[in-house]
Amino acid sequence: MEWVIIILIVLLLAILISCIKIVPQAQAYVVERLGAYQGTWSVGLHIKVPFLDRVAKRVNLKEQVADFPPQPVITKDNVTMRIDTVVYYQITDPRLFTYGVENPMMAIENLTATTLRNIIGELELDQTLTSREVINTKMRSALDIATDPWGIKVNRVELKNIIPPAEIQNAMERQMKAERERREAVTRAEGEKKANILVAEGEKESAILRAEAEKQSAILRAEAEKEKMIREAEGEAEAILKVQQANADGIRMLKEAGADEAVLKIKSLEAFEKAADGKATKILLPADLQGIASLATAFREVSDK
């Protein structure tokens, strides 16, 4: 009898312990009583009624990622391609998520595929390849509205890969190669053009510098020649001045010594002889040349005696 009581007590304790539930962070428990929805337990300690309540579903409230396999789609210009999408979603209402749809993930996958086909069907191939952001925005908006009755909020949708047919890929690769070669040719031509411009500018600047140098050199030579001529003229003028000064001093000395007119004429003739010393091309003879000649003859006779 005692063993029976002990067993009953142990069973009662086990039942009581099983009725104590602790809901962890970022989770929620959907509880049913006699098969009907009773409530949603949030984070914390909860106690259910034995044999009447049960946890129908444990719901993860974190943001989750659903990576769906590639789906075949057809563009507006009849090009078939495969696109795989990634959906970021979060459960906002555990009750609707539990009772709203039978298989939420399959429902989201099918909804994503049909929505993607509808959007891509309105775009051409080039628009599909260059309008990812537009497609992502349209997909997120459509999925968020459709999944709202299921207690699911779609935060973001991304096109992971766009896989066109092999022939389209080859054509795109050839087009990209041709575009790269064209850009390379344009870049090379621009580089050569800039190099030629720089060379021409360098030659122009060099010619300008040479012309300026030659101009400066000519100016310096002209200034040097001018300085030389000025010095020579100054030297000649100084020499003439000294000769004239010497003649004037000689005449003054003759006058001071009491020389007569005949001596003065002889001195004048000597000065005339020096002036015509093979360098003058034109000689002006004095009017009384005859008188000077007779005077010179008389002077020579006196000297001979």
Domain check: are 128 and 94 in the same one?
yes
Asked, for residue 143, whether it belongs to a domain, the answer is: yes
**115 within 8 A of 143, measured Cβ to Cβ:** yes
pLDDT at 235: 80
pLDDT at 154: 93
Domain check: are 230 and 157 in the same one?
no
Question: What is the per-residue burial (b if ≥16 Cβ within 10 Å, else e) of 148-178?
Answer: eebbbbbebbbbeebebeeeeeeeeeeeeee
Domain boundary among 164, 186, 210: 164
Domain check: are 246 and 292 in the same one?
yes
CATH number at residue 127: 3.30.479.30
Domain check: are 75 and 29 in the same one?
no
pLDDT at 268: 57
Domain check: are 69 and 55 in the same one?
no
pLDDT at 254: 59
**122 within 8 A of 77, measured Cβ to Cβ:** no
Domain check: are 156 and 67 in the same one?
yes
The total number of structural domains in the chain stands at: 3
Domain check: are 75 and 44 in the same one?
no
Domain check: are 68 and 155 in the same one?
yes
pLDDT at 1: 66
Q: What is the pLDDT along the chain (305 residues), one digit of tens a residue?
A: 677 788 888 888 887 887 888 899 999 999 999 889 999 999 989 888 888 888 999 999 999 999 988 888 988 888 888 998 999 999 999 999 999 888 888 999 999 999 999 999 888 888 888 888 999 999 999 999 999 999 999 999 999 888 888 887 787 778 888 888 888 888 888 888 898 888 888 888 888 888 888 888 888 888 888 888 888 888 877 877 777 777 677 666 656 665 555 555 555 555 555 545 545 455 444 555 445 445 444 444 444 44
Sign of CA dihedral 187, 193, 195, 201: negative
Asked, for residue 3, whether it belongs to a domain, the answer is: no
Domain boundary among 115, 135, 164: 164
Domain check: are 243 and 279 in the same one?
yes
Domain boundary among 164, 179, 201: 164
pLDDT at 296: 47
pLDDT at 301: 47
Tokens of residue 161, six digits:
């890969």
User: Which one, of 102, 104, 98, lies nearest residue 30 by Cα?
Assistant: 98
pLDDT at 32: 92
CB atoms within 10 A of CB 61: 16
The Cα–Cα gap between 5 and 29 comes to 34
Domain check: are 48 and 74 in the same one?
no
Tokens of residue 79, six digits:
């090009």
Domain housing 44: 18-60
Contacts of 264 (CB under 8 A, 6+ apart): 251, 254
Domain check: are 53 and 126 in the same one?
no
The Cα–Cα gap between 264 and 96 comes to 151
